[in-house]
Amino acid sequence: MKKTIKTVLGLLMVTGLAMVAQAATIPEGMGILPNNVPVPANNPMSAAKISLGTQLYFDPALSASGQFSCNSCHNLGTGGVDNQKTSIGHHWQRGGRNAPTVLNAAFWSKQFWDGRAPLLEDQAKGPPLNPVEMASADADTVVARLKTAGYAPLFTTVFGKNALTYDNMAKAIAAFERTLITPNAPFDRFVQGTGDISKAAKRGMVKVAEVGCTSCHSGALFTNNEFVEFAYGSDTGLKSITGKADDDHVFRVQSWRNVALTAPYFHDGSASTLAQAVKIMAKVQLQTTLSDADVNDIVAFLTTLTGDQPQITFPTLPRPTGVSLDWQD
């Protein structure tokens, strides 16, 4: 009896020590991706709304040509991005910025590199009418198109009668986007004690804290969700919206979650590899030159932040019978 108690105590001590030892190696603030996304009070989630949002997300009927859906530039098969320097939209035009991922976007303080859309709901109203993206003439045109496609009953189920509006379209898409969360990254399993990461990744994990990357890329999201100066390139960032000198070259600190999937990097897509992005960041943000060995370790660490990708069944989209929709050139 006595012996059993001793053994149990011994085991407890050993496990306790092991946990302390592991915790000590994880820099302060780093942690597991949260699973509770913020949901605005005026757009509660429901299964029907998420299902409608999935259809709208994949529906090229939001674009004038009938060729571009949200998924064209934010491809959920490739990390929620198009892996283009800057995206291709209507008439094969290139926009001015790189497409950031929609994965985990529900956690960002504001949407877009310059934060000009506070919520996913605001953001989703932009692309259908953006002339270099989906290029529909106006909100009424999009609504009329969705009506002809056969969406009205689906909107009624989710929002009530006469509810096929541009605002409700954005709400449904936003609800779907709030499901695009990527848990279980190797790093998260390491933190939970259910998995391990390579030695190089562990060195990289310590290095990013040591050199100061995590002053901006902090916490479980690996971003403090703030807007800071990034004195690089010709895009003026937040200043292009506010006109204020203080906002010159100010951009949102990008999350490191899934960053290994989203090359090329930065708002202008100018860094073609993750290693290059890491080197530039150290130089521009921290006035530090990293050795190639340190860069490799940091890249190994960043790669451990790729989580489980959402598994989505491509939805069947409503369409009229025996006639195509009225696409525009």
CA distance 126 to 70: 11
Query: Which amino acid type is present at position 156?
Result: T
Which range of residues in 20-28, 192-200, 212-220, 307-315 is near ligand HEC by CB under 6 A? 212-220
CA distance 126 to 98: 16
60, 79, 128, 307: which one binds ligand HEC (CB under 6 A): 128
For residue 324, the number of C-alpha atoms closer than 13 Å in the C-beta half-sphere is 6
Pseudo-torsion of CA 57, 63, 65, 69, nearest 10°? Answer: -20
User: CB 48 → ligand HEC: shortest distance, Å?
Assistant: 18
Which range of residues in 18-26, 99-107, 141-149, 321-329 is near ligand HEC by CB under 6 A? 99-107
User: CB 86 → ligand HEC: shortest distance, Å?
Assistant: 7
CA distance 54 to 58: 6
Does residue 60 touch ligand HEC according to CB under 6 A?
A: no
CA distance 228 to 249: 8
Q: What tokens appear for 323 in the block?
A: 């006639």
Cα–Cα nearest to 218, from 253, 250, 190, 187: 253
CA distance 238 to 250: 5
Does residue 80 touch ligand HEC according to CB under 6 A?
A: no
Sequence-distant (6+) residues with CB within 8 A of 6 are none
Catalytic residue of the set 133, 177, 210, 229: 133
Contact 80, 180 (CB under 8 A): yes
33, 64, 73, 300: which one binds ligand HEC (CB under 6 A): 73
54, 55, 123, 304: which one binds ligand HEC (CB under 6 A): 123
CA distance 157 to 24: 51
Does residue 238 touch ligand HEC according to CB under 6 A?
A: no
Q: Which of residues 278-297 bind ligand HEC (CB under 6 A)?
A: 278, 281-282, 285-286
User: CB 301 → ligand HEC: shortest distance, Å?
Assistant: 9
User: CB 266 → ligand HEC: shortest distance, Å?
Assistant: 3
Assess whether 133 carries a catalytic annotation.
Answer: yes
Q: Among residues 106 and 191, whose Cβ is nearest to ligand HEC?
A: 106
User: CB 261 → ligand HEC: shortest distance, Å?
Assistant: 10
* DSSP reduced 3-state for 87: coil
Q: What tokens appear for 282 in the block?
A: 């150290």
Strand partners, 251: 228
Does residue 217 touch ligand HEC according to CB under 6 A?
A: yes
Instruction: List strand residue ranges (DSSP E) for 114-255, in order.
Output: 227-229, 250-252
- Total residues in contact with ligand HEC, by rule CB under 6 A: 51
User: CB 12 → ligand HEC: shortest distance, Å?
Assistant: 38
173, 180, 191, 205: which one binds ligand HEC (CB under 6 A): 173
Give the binding site for ligand HEC (CB under 6 A).
62, 68, 70, 72-74, 87, 89, 95, 97, 99-100, 102, 105, 108, 111-114, 120, 123-124, 127-128, 133-134, 173, 208, 211-213, 215-217, 228, 230, 251, 253-254, 259, 262, 265-267, 277-278, 281-282, 285-286, 298
- Just list the catalytic residues: 133
